[in-house]
């Protein structure tokens, strides 16, 4: 799957992933009304609105970008109805041949981590049959529990040709509270980066490993350092746009050929219709066109900085 | 909710939580057969078997223990059908007045962490209504992302009188890879323990905080140390039984009055019917009676060590 991701990035010339993180405030009134008319002002109604909203975005950007990243928390807050919308979103994206990165930040130990890996990337055996749960292509994973938490994911990735992105240095302001603390002369995130490099060396694709890393756009110097520490890891970069990262911050995350990193934007794209400069040009009913325009602008911003 | 947990621990004299982590291999054949007859050898069939199995355990132990801890990964591996069984299990336990600790190990930042907190502990607002997602009483949370990941949970806990247990020192063999690394003369887990104490000071119940901690039974010396660092945090202790922890390892996790910690056992109880000494006494159809016997033995083992 890492090979497919790299190949699609080359083809689209867009190292961009669209974060499908719907929030009620981002969704045009006419979509909410249609969904509420069908299902009432209920979790089912909101989940239907999430999916309809996503479909519009996906249709509008699927030829421009290699991948999408639905954030499962947004769906999970609606309980089962929301998770059904997450599942439908993953399936719809895969029909459109998009690579789906499930932003699930799971992590546990042993058989429990194996269960998460199975539910998101693999198949569960029941009787003589095998069944996929959510069936994303990649998942994000939390490293706090050490190798016991990561290895079961790596095993499932090997079997099903899927991949993971391990949290190394997250984009948020307080990420340094633990991640930046110095251990033997180096911050914790560098130690985690070294572990990612080691875990990933056991599961290589053509040029990059199936084990990638998450490093926030908001910490460009650290991104540059980590690029060197994990030469085979694709870096998933959140924090562009709404969180403050800009194209020029990103050069250090990439290799010389413009590969090696993929930058996420969520609300900067899916809620572009509400923001300058798009809100002047696009109406509520053109929210998907606004998203497409925002992707094209982001592509230009990033490529001008890295190529 | 921490007050209810403490009060139920006092009443039952059992600082024990039963881990509802069903695996297909733990479930008696006759339950699997009934479920597969109804739903086929499908995720729906296995999820039905999980729930029927859980009901038997819950009915058999609900007067003995204060709390249960369903591990969501086991359900999540079955996709939506499994999560429906998780939801039904949570509801059934609450009908029996058990405190439900959702072992979900979630953790993200800002609005995303808030969405997880809402989905598991709070209510989501849709139109003029409020809807609970999974509605556990407590959730386990991963601290790697720092305060930005924890604070949204604390806010939801304050509003809905729920609680969290933050991962501090986990029970697995490789937990030391990052958690034990020394920072300013102290291991990382002590720094996380200090943060738990600080986060928890903002949200106190009568004697303990709504913000608790997870510390593995497999590390008794560290448990004793952390007990002192986090005097107001209830400690959720995994790793007893199957993972190697015993009653005598546990004394240091508790305060002098026998409060302050609650010990989890999962397969040691729910799969007791397959293990010595219970398998001689109980048939497959008596799996729930075996679980009850295992709870009583565990209660004696722990109380003899701490009281």
For a pLDDT cut of 90, what percent of chain B falls above it? Answer: 95
The answer, for A113 touching chain B at a CB cutoff of 8 Å, is yes
Stretch B49-66: mean pLDDT, rounded? 98
Q: What is the pLDDT of residues B119-134, one digit of tens each?
A: 999 999 999 999 999 9
d(CA B72, CA A23): 24
Give contacts of B 158-187 with A, CB under 8 A. 167, 170-179, 181-184
The answer, for A119 touching chain B at a CB cutoff of 8 Å, is yes
- Nearby residues of B215 by Cβ (< 8 Å), 6 or more positions away: B168, B169, B222, B223, B226, B235, B236, B237, B253
Stretch B3-7: mean pLDDT, rounded? 98
d(CA A149, CA A158): 15
Partner residue opposite B45 with nearest CB, options A83, A126, A133: A126
pLDDT score at B181: 97
d(CA B47, CA A143): 29
Stretch A234-247: mean pLDDT, rounded? 86
d(CA B279, CA B287): 9
| Among A4, A8, A105, A224, the one annotated catalytic | A105
Q: Are residues A119 and B82, on separate chains, in Cβ contact within 8 Å?
A: yes
Extract the runs of DSSP E, i.e. beta strands, from chain A: 16-20, 67-70, 99-106, 123-126, 129-132, 138-141, 163-169, 182-183, 186-187, 211-215, 235-237, 261-265
CATH architecture of B2-302: Alpha-Beta Barrel (3.20)
CA dist B84 to A50, A81, A122, B2, Å? 20, 10, 19, 26
Q: Are residues B77 and A115, on separate chains, in Cβ contact within 8 Å?
A: yes
How confident is residue B161, by pLDDT bands cut at 50, 70 and 90?
very high
**CA A72 to centroid of chain Cα atoms:** 10
The answer, for A7 touching chain B at a CB cutoff of 8 Å, is no
Q: Looking at the predicted structure, is the pLDDT value of residue A306 above 90?
A: no
Nearest CA in chain B to A189: B178
Token pair for A284? 């509520």
| A105 assigned to active site | yes
H/E stretch holding B282: none
**Using a CB cutoff of 8 Å and minimum separation of 24, what contacts does A55-59 make?**
A55/A92, A56/A31, A56/A287, A56/A288, A56/A291, A57/A18, A57/A20, A57/A269, A57/A270, A57/A287, A57/A288, A57/A291, A58/A20, A58/A89, A58/A92, A58/A93, A58/A96, A58/A98, A59/A96, A59/A288
d(CA A123, CA B31): 22
Partner residue opposite A145 with nearest CB, options B79, B115, B175: B175
pLDDT score at A216: 96
pLDDT score at B170: 96
Q: What is the pLDDT of residues B74-114, one digit of tens each?
A: 999 999 999 999 999 999 999 999 999 999 999 999 999 99
d(CA B187, CA A150): 21
Q: Which CATH number fits domain A2-306: 3.40.50.280, 3.20.20.70, 3.20.20.140, 3.40.630.40?
A: 3.20.20.70
pLDDT score at A19: 98
pLDDT score at B307: 75
- Nearby residues of A119 by Cβ (< 8 Å), 6 or more positions away: A133, A134, B73, B76, B77, B78, B79, B82
Q: What is the pLDDT of residues B285-294, one digit of tens each?
A: 999 999 999 9
CA dist B192 to A141, A143, B110, Å? 19, 15, 19
How confident is residue A156, by pLDDT bands cut at 50, 70 and 90?
very high
Q: Looking at the predicted structure, is the pLDDT value of residue B56 above 80?
A: yes
pLDDT score at A148: 95
How far off is chain B from A33, nearest CA to CA, in Å?
Answer: 11
Q: Are residues B192 and A178, on separate chains, in Cβ contact within 8 Å?
A: yes
The residues pairing with B165 across neighbouring beta strands, listed in sequence order, are B140, B212
Mean pLDDT of chain B: 96
How far off is chain A from B40, nearest CA to CA, in Å?
Answer: 9
Q: Looking at the predicted structure, is the pLDDT value of residue B61 above 90?
A: yes
Q: Quick check: B262 and B233 in contact, CB under 8 A?
A: no
Q: What is the pLDDT of residues A248-300, one digit of tens each?
A: 889 999 998 899 999 999 999 999 999 999 999 999 999 999 999 999 999 99
Q: What is the pLDDT of residues B14-49, one digit of tens each?
A: 999 999 999 999 999 999 999 999 999 999 999 999
Strand A129-132 to A123-126 pairing: antiparallel
Q: Are residues B172 and A115, on separate chains, in Cβ contact within 8 Å?
A: no
d(CA A136, CA A247): 28
Q: Quick check: A79 and B141 in contact, CB under 8 A?
A: no
Q: Are residues B144 and A183, on separate chains, in Cβ contact within 8 Å?
A: no
pLDDT score at B179: 97
How confident is residue A192, by pLDDT bands cut at 50, 70 and 90?
very high
The answer, for A245 touching chain B at a CB cutoff of 8 Å, is no
Closest-CA residue to B53 (of B236, B240, B263, B273): B273
Count Cβ atoms within 10 A of the Cβ of residue B153 and give its class: 0-12 exposed, 13-18 middle, 19 or more buried.
buried
Q: What is the pLDDT of residues B191-238, one digit of tens each?
A: 999 999 999 999 999 999 999 999 999 999 999 999 999 999 999 999
Residues B178/B182/B184/B187 CA torsion (nearest 10 deg): 80
Grouping H, G, I as helix, E, B as strand and the rest as coil, residue A73 is helix
pLDDT score at A307: 75
How far off is chain A from B171, nearest CA to CA, in Å?
Answer: 9
Partner residue opposite B119 with nearest CB, options A41, A79, A175: A79
Phi, psi (deg, nearest 5) at residue B84: -65, -40
* Complex ipTM tops 0.85: yes
Give contacts of B 62-81 with A, CB under 8 A. 71, 73-74, 76-80
pLDDT score at A173: 94
Q: What is the pLDDT of residues A11-29, one digit of tens each?
A: 999 999 999 999 999 999 9
pLDDT score at B127: 92
Residue of A112, A186, A271 to mutate when probing chain B, most B C-beta within 10 A: A112
Stretch B171-190: mean pLDDT, rounded? 96
Q: Quick check: A169 and A181 in contact, CB under 8 A?
A: no
The residues pairing with A261 across neighbouring beta strands, listed in sequence order, are A235
Q: What is the pLDDT of residues A103-152, one digit of tens each?
A: 999 999 999 999 999 999 999 999 999 999 999 999 999 999 999 999 99
Q: Are residues A144 and B184, on separate chains, in Cβ contact within 8 Å?
A: no
The answer, for A155 touching chain B at a CB cutoff of 8 Å, is no
- How many residues are present in chain A? 307
Partner residue opposite B188 with nearest CB, options A79, A80, A181: A181
| Cβ neighbours around A89 below 10 Å, total | 25
């Amino acid at each position: 799957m890492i090979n497919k991701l790299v190949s699609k990035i080359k083809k689209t010339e867009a190292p961009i992933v669209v974060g499908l993180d719907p929030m009620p405030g981002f969704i045009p009134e006419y979509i909410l009304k249609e969904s509420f008319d069908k299902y009432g002002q209920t979790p089912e109604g909101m989940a239907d609105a999430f999916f309809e909203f996503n479909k519009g975005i996906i249709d509008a950007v699927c030829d421009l970008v290699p991948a999408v990243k639905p954030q499962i928390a947004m769906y999970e807050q609606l309980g089962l109805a929301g998770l059904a919308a997450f599942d439908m979103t993953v399936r719809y994206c895969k029909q459109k041949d998009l690579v789906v990165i499930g932003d699930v930040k799971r992590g546990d130990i042993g058989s429990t981590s194996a269960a998460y890996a199975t539910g998101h990337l693999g198949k569960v055996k029941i009787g003589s049959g095998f069944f996929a749960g959510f069936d994303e292509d990649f998942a994000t994973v939390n490293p706090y529990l050490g190798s016991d938490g990561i290895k079961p994911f790596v095993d499932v990735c090997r079997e099903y040709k899927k991949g993971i992105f391990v949290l190394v240095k997250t984009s948020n302001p307080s990420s340094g509270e633990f991640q930046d603390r110095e251990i033997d002369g180096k911050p914790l995130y560098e130690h985690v980066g070294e572990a990612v490099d080691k875990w990933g060396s056991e599961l290589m694709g053509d040029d990059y490993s199936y084990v990638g890393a998450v490093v926030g756009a908001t910490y460009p110097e650290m991104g540059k350092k980590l690029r060197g520490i994990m030469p085979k890891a694709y870096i998933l970069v959140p924090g562009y746009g709404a969180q403050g990262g800009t194209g020029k911050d990103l050069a250090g995350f990439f290799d010389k050929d413009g590969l090696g990193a993929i930058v996420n934007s969520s609300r900067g794209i899916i809620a572009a219709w509400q923001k300058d400069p798009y809100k002047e040009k696009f109406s509520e009913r053109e929210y998907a066109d606004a998203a497409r325009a925002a992707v094209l602008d982001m592509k230009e911003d990033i490529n001008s900085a890295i190529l």
